[in-house]
């Protein structure tokens, strides 16, 4: 039995996307809601005032370090920028694509950049930890013009096919953006 800890330290973000009506968009634009977007959980805050159709919500790391310890012994400490060149197995790094929504309404995307400990995950493996059973999922977030607004966001980690929930986040908000895509 091994006790495994995976830490993601660095710079990441929370991305949330939903659809609102044009009427709601006009209300948001003409309100004080956008006066202070420097609050964590901005997407939820806006959702308390305006209904929306939720499409996606992701939290992950863009750049920083991946640290893996097994039984308190460090076995890996690498910058996330080199993960694409490493291959522990064919499925180690999987790129997931989003289909941008087609709608006559307004697509609202909030991006909140954060720095610190993005995830601190601990789990127990029956037997020995096998790094070949580890899979990281990265996502590129596009706008309506297919321009990438967030690239290679590591937002999911799996071990032996089982998702590992991101937890232990200790971050500070660094920047907030809201994008409205009007067709």
Phi, psi (rounded to 5 degrees) for 24: -65, -40
pLDDT digits (tens, 9 = 90+) for 25-35: 988 888 777 77
pLDDT digits (tens, 9 = 90+) for 94-124: 888 777 888 899 999 989 999 999 999 999 9
CB 142 within 8 A of CB 101: no
Q: How far apart are CA 77 and CA 97, in angstroms?
A: 27
Domain count, the chain: 1
Residues of the chain with pLDDT under 70: 36, 87-89, 183
Task: Indicate the pTM of the whole model.
Answer: 0.86
Strand-pair partners of 7: 67, 120
pLDDT at site 87 = 67
Which pair of structure tokens corresponds to residue 77?
């400490």
pLDDT at site 51 = 77
Q: What is the four-CA torsion angle of 144, 145, 148, 154, rounded to 10 degrees?
A: 30
Q: How far apart are CA 177 and CA 9, in angstroms?
A: 22
Give residue 119's domain range: 2-181
pLDDT at site 138 = 93
Which pair of structure tokens corresponds to residue 136?
């990281």
């Amino acid at each position: 039995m091994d006790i495994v800890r995976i830490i993601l330290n660095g710079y990441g973000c929370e991305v949330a996307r939903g659809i609102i009506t044009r009427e709601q968009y006009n209300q948001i634009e003409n309100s004080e809601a956008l006066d202070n977007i420097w609050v964590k959980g901005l997407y939820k805050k806006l959702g308390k005032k305006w209904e929306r159709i939720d499409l996606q919500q992701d939290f992950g790391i863009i750049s920083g370090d991946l640290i893996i310890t097994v039984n308190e012994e460090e076995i890996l400490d690498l910058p996330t920028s080199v993960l694409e060149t490493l291959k522990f197995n064919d499925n180690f790094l999987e790129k997931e694509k989003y289909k941008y929504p087609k709608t006559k309404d307004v697509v609202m995307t909030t991006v909140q950049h954060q720095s610190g400990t993005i995830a601190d995950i601990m789990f127990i493996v029956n037997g020995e930890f096998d790094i070949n059973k580890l899979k990281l999922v990265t996502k590129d977030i596009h706008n309506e013009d297919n321009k990438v607004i967030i690239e290679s966001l590591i937002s999911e980690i799996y071990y032996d096919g089982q998702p590992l929930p991101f937890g232990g986040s200790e971050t500070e908000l660094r920047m907030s953006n809201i994008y409205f895509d009007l067709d």
